[in-house]
Amino acid sequence: MELRHIQYFLTASNEKSINRAAKELRVSQPAVSRQIRDLENELGVKLFERDSRGLTLTKEGEMAVVFAEDLLCRVRTMKDALNPHNPNLSKRIRLGYIAPVIGGFMVKAMREFKHQFADIALEIQEMSPVEQEIALRNKEIDLALLGNPSPYVKKYFSYQTILKVPLSLVLPDNHLLALRKSIELSELAGESFVSLDEKHFSQRPKLLAEISKVAKFQFKVGIKAEGISDLLAHVAGGGGVAILPDDVKTMPHSGVVFIKMSKPRIFLESAVAWRGDNQKEEISYLVETLKKAGKTYQP
């Protein structure tokens, strides 16, 4: 995979047409089609639906857009670091995010923002909630999409709730209860749980304690995963069951199933945070755009 593949894919995504993408890139239509086809073959997924009206991103394509933007953002960041006197450096918003939002409201909000502020670069970087808190404090990012805000975030930063997501139970797909549509948490009382390490997800122990109190049994945590992808892999491999926000199911999750937790029914906040002294118009607009996208989001 080369940067050319990423650039052609993003241009086709923005233009919604091979013809218009070719004109924008100043190359032939077959060259654009070939690069996108090569990228699809390498990734093993279909990125676009093609018809007489043009191109429409598939679900996998929507996720790929965010990863692609992230890759190009890192390239721009490298260029900026090597050329700190670049006059365009100030025309950017640096956004930290946790993985589940890439398949959700984030793409929609980014596109609406770019329509309004075409000259401002949105630089995105996947970070754990703890990493985002540190990056905000050190002014390394401007906005943080960090899921459930910690007391530290609520005390020292401005924040807005984007949406509330129900918690679901995550089981290996060969589990005895894997075919159920809903499960009461008490049915998993004897199971070993896979959790997220508090080094990266500081609110996880508090959340499990609150759920444990409502469910009236103590969780037996056998594995603490470094990140969400690691957690899903542990569950798929038989390391235990887990509790995650339902929007995580938008991520690739081979070998696991997400099942509605019927009792207790618990919702988790997903919030955006920023420094209170950062009152730029574009920051406020992006926050409002994220809130609006969150209202219409269905995982």
Degrees to nearest 5, angle at CA 191 with 256 and 216: 120
Instruction: Summarize the confidence of residues 149-162 as an average pLDDT.
Output: 90
> What end-to-end distance do the CA atoms of the chain give, in Å?
30
Q: Indicate whether 100 pLDDT > 80.
A: no
- In CATH, what class is 164-268? alpha beta
Report the pLDDT value the prediction gives residue 54, as an integer from 0 to 100.
Answer: 79
CATH architecture, domain 1-90: Orthogonal Bundle (1.10)
Does the fold of domain 164-268 match that of domain 1-90? Answer: no
3-state secondary structure of 2: coil
Report the pLDDT value the prediction gives residue 126, as an integer from 0 to 100.
Answer: 85
Q: How many CB atoms lie within 10 A of CB 168?
A: 23
Q: Delimit the domains of the chain by residue range.
A: 1-90, 164-268
pLDDT in tens, 42-71: 888 889 888 877 788 888 888 888 788 777
CB 228 within 8 A of CB 100: yes
pTM for the model = 0.68
3-state secondary structure of 177: coil
Return contacts of 214-217, CB within 8 angstroms, 24+ apart.
214/264, 214/266, 215/185, 215/186, 215/189, 215/264, 216/186, 217/186, 217/189
Q: How confident is the model at residue 87 (pLDDT cuts 50, 70, 90)?
A: low
Q: Indicate whether 194 pLDDT > 90.
A: yes
Q: Indicate whether 299 pLDDT > 70.
A: no
Q: How confident is the model at residue 257 (pLDDT cuts 50, 70, 90)?
A: very high
Of 84-88, 97-101, 284-288, give the lowest mean pLDDT range: 84-88
- Distance between CA atoms of residues 80 and 86, nearest Å: 7
Averaged pLDDT of the chain: 86
- Distance between CA atoms of residues 193 and 235, nearest Å: 9
Report the pLDDT value the prediction gives residue 77, as an integer from 0 to 100.
Answer: 66
Q: How many CB atoms lie within 10 A of CB 275?
A: 17
Report the pLDDT value the prediction gives residue 262, as an integer from 0 to 100.
Answer: 93
